[in-house]
Amino acid sequence: MRTSPAHRQALPPRYASEDVMIAAKKQKETSSNNGACMECFETIQVNMPTYSRSQRTIAQYIIDHPSRALSLSIHDMAAEIGTSASSITRFCRKLGYDSLRDMRVSLAASSDHRAAEDFQEAMSIVGSPERLASDYLQHITDVCSKTLEVNSMETLQEAARLIAQAESVYLFGIGASALAVSNLLGKLVKLKVRCIYSADSDMNVQMADSAGANDVAIAFSYSGFTTDVVKGARNAHDNGCPLITVTHQGDSPLQSISDYALLCPAVEQLTRVTTLFSNYAQAIIVDILFLLVARQLDINPRELLQEYRSIMQSPDAL
């Protein structure tokens, strides 16, 4: 699918999302059916047997990480894939596009359609409104079971040991993953584990400069591609700080620098409308880490509860 000359505008080197999305919207408005929207993904997948090894790597990257393919400059994308900008351009031309810019217009439309279908599928998990709660609970149970299957207890215990012995725990996570970070932060603070975290992602990246070999960093990102999370985690890791990551199954920049990778099953597309079940995968990992750290520290639950109540007691009751 080629775009009209009106769509072939000069885009800024970084994410030209507004131009691409406007063009994609026009494309969708003129498409007569869903097949037109899905042409980009389908074209990539259908032609997979004809690709060279390098082209197959590019194709798989676009399929697995469409939001990154839309957001990165061609040079950053090439560096992330481990190929050259010219190879990406040749790949786009093989598919019938004049350039990466032209392919992005079609890819943006495909991604929107794919995300909408995923959301519709998520809404259709229930057989009827009356069964919504029980069906949804079953899916949560399945996600938690899969999370335990893809993570070894040995890795979880080693991660807990690092947390228990660390001078400071540096936490990274934004967006939906910030919920998991806040959950872990609140639990570790109750165990008197010193944690360092800022909701300001830029500040978090800077604070990572203080991390060292006696600390531990824990980075949450379902996609494994969240730029500020990867930056902060890499900053800490480059200083010799052990790194624990919580990401979805599959290769990603974050997992590539991890010392201990804790995995969430691939239950959602990375172009999802909203998070549903991945939150539960992160939550069970957080809870298991909390319980294992408490055991490592030989915490007395009764004493911990009494101390917590004392701290939280109203000033009027003192």
Closest C-alpha to 147, from 292, 278, 291: 278
CA distance 148 to 193: 25
Q: What is the second-level CATH architecture of the domain 139-312?
A: 3-Layer(aba) Sandwich (3.40)
Q: What pLDDT is attached to residue 205?
A: 94
Q: What is the pLDDT of residue 60?
A: 85
More confident residue, 131 or 37: 131
d(CA 100, CA 91): 9
Letter for the amino acid at 79? A
Percent of the chain with pLDDT over 90: 45
pLDDT reported for residue 317 = 52
pLDDT in tens, 149-182: 999 999 999 999 999 999 999 999 998 899 999 9
Helix 39-46 × helix 100-123 angle, to 10°: 100
Digit-coded pLDDT (tens) for 186-195: 999 999 999 9
Contacts of 64 (CB under 8 A, 6+ apart): 250, 270
| Residue 67 pLDDT greater than 70, yes or no | yes
pLDDT digits (tens, 9 = 90+) for 114-143: 655 555 655 665 566 767 778 778 888 888
**pLDDT bracket for residue 91 (50, 70, 90):** very high
pLDDT tens by residue, 196-207: 999 998 999 999
In this predicted structure, the answer to whether residue 2 has a pLDDT above a threshold of 80 is no
Mean pLDDT of 62-70: 82
Domain 16-123 has CATH 3.10.50.40: no
**Is the model more confident about 42 or about 90?**
90
Q: How far apart are CA 163 and CA 141, in angstroms?
A: 27
Please report which confidence band the pLDDT of residue 277 belongs to, taking 50, 70 and 90 as the band edges.
confident
**What pTM was estimated for this model as a whole?**
0.66
pLDDT of residue 216: 98
Confidence grade of residue 20 (pLDDT, cut at 50, 70, 90):
very low
Domain ranges of the chain: 16-123, 139-312
Work out the mean pLDDT of the chain and round it to a whole number: 81
Per-residue pLDDT, 62: 87
Where does the pLDDT of residue 226 fall: very low under 50, low under 70, confident under 90, or very high at 90 and above? confident
Which residues, in sequence order, are CB contacts of 91 under 8 Å at separation 6+? Answer: 51, 55, 58, 59
